[in-house]
Structure 1
Amino acid sequence: MVAEFITIGIMALALSLDAFSLSLGLGMAGLRYRRIFIIGSLIGLFHMLMPLGGIIIGQALSHYLGPLTYFIGGSGLIFLGIQMLASSFKYGADSLLAPKGIGLFIFAISVSVDSFSAGLSLGMVGAKTWLTVISFGVISAILTWIGLLVGKKAGGWVGKNSEGVGGIILILFGVKMIMGAV
């Protein structure tokens, strides 16, 4: 149980790093503290809903795919990690949507989509649903708040680098998952 808690916590941290990195830039827009609270809370909620959907679908698929699920789940994490790592090398004008109304929902969904994929992988291998969902939500909300607050005060180079670190962590967990099935 402790090992799974640590694993899920580290994965939640890795998946929340993209929300953190984008929040750094968004925080430079001089948001008010109430808006910062709303943005972090919404991103935390989406980081709970997306993996929950993924876990439910992943659990259903695991009945049909049997032992192959560890390979598929691990491969999914590796693919997701590679995408995050590659994204961290793309420097350019990130189009930040206005952090209110429909723009806020699009922002929350865009930084939570990877949690759906991770949830799908974790659902296939039977991860504890509530541990995963709550960890993903709480950690992403906290990292979003930190990113917005740091961005409000400073900004800087950390943003893209944190997404690359998250990608590497997911790749390592994917390899571990596949190796554990062998």
Structure 2
Amino acid sequence: MSPLSIGVLAISMSIDAFVASVGKGTTEDSPGLAMTLRTGAIFGVIEAITPLLGWLAGVAASQYVAEVDHWIAFALLAGVGSHMTLQAWTRAEDEPRATSLWATVFTAIGTSIDAMAVGVSLALLQVNILVIAMAIGATTMLMSSVGLIVGRYVGGRFGRIAETLGGVALLTIGTMILLEHLSAAA
């Protein structure tokens, strides 16, 4: 994967954590530095671990799917991207938000499931998963920390748009992988 693709993927994987952090920020009067860094670290670490877990599962299965791996990568990324986009517009706007440490951990796990699915598809592409996982984790940490602060000031006004853009970016990456493979095979 090119550095640009890794960057787009890292941002795409971080959008839902950013949106969740914006939501958390709307419930806080004044999130301090400690809370901001803690929230970012929780989201970042979990978001970095899940693509590694998905990649390990994908490596175990890759020998069985080598001839259709580009289609699987496309399907997973397109599915996750489509799901992110659909979820952005179908969740309840007044959904209550919990603010405890465990609520943050569970939210981080929930927002990182898509990164696990992406990890499975990355195993089929022979990429350096450690670089990608670190990029995803660092980007998520930064975006979650910023999201907490942004949430305090702008609330949930732009969350759906950001989540939709993340979903569209994943769908685009999946399509690029498919087209790249099909053009190389021609």
Q: TM-score range by the shorter chain?
A: over 0.9
Aligned to 2:138: 138
1:17 and 2:15 are equivalent in the alignment: yes
Consecutive unaligned residues of structure 2, counting only runs of 5 or more, are none
TM-score with structure 1 length normalisation? 0.92
> Which amino acid in 2 is paired with 1:145?
S
Give me the whole-angstrom Cα distance separating, in 2, the residues matched to 1:120 and 1:94. 31
Partner Cα distance (1:20, 1:49) in 2: 17
**Quick check: 117-126 or 58-67, which moved more?**
58-67
Deviations 1:88-132 (A, max 9, x none): 1125233322231x2222111011111101111111111211111
**3-state SS of the aligned residue for 2:95?**
coil
Point out 4+ residue stretches in structure 1 off by more than 6 angstroms: none
Task: Look up the equivalent residue of 1:161 and give its one-letter code.
Answer: I
Deviation readout 1:110-156 (Å, 9 max, x if unpaired): 11111101111111111211111100000011110111011123324
* 2:175 partner amino acid: V
TM-score normalised to the size of structure 2? 0.91
The answer on whether the counterparts of 1:21 and 1:147 sit within 8 Å (CA) in structure 2 is: yes
RMSD of aligned Cα (Å): 1.4
Identity %: 24
1:152 — aligned with what?
A: 152
Q: Do structure 1's residue 54 and structure 2's residue 51 form an aligned pair?
A: no
Alignment of 1:92-111 (within 5 A): 92=92, 93-100=94-101, 102-111=102-111
The aligned counterpart of 2:66 is 66
Equivalent residue pairs, number: 179
How far has the Cα of 1:32 moved from its partner?
A: 2.8
- One-letter amino acid matched to 1:41: A
Give 1:67 shift.
2.2
- Deviates most, 89-98 or 9-18: 89-98
Q: Deviations over 1:25-83 (max 9, x none)?
A: 11012233211211110100001100011111112221221121111011100000100
Whether the 8 Å CA contact 1:99–1:107 is kept in 2: the answer is: no
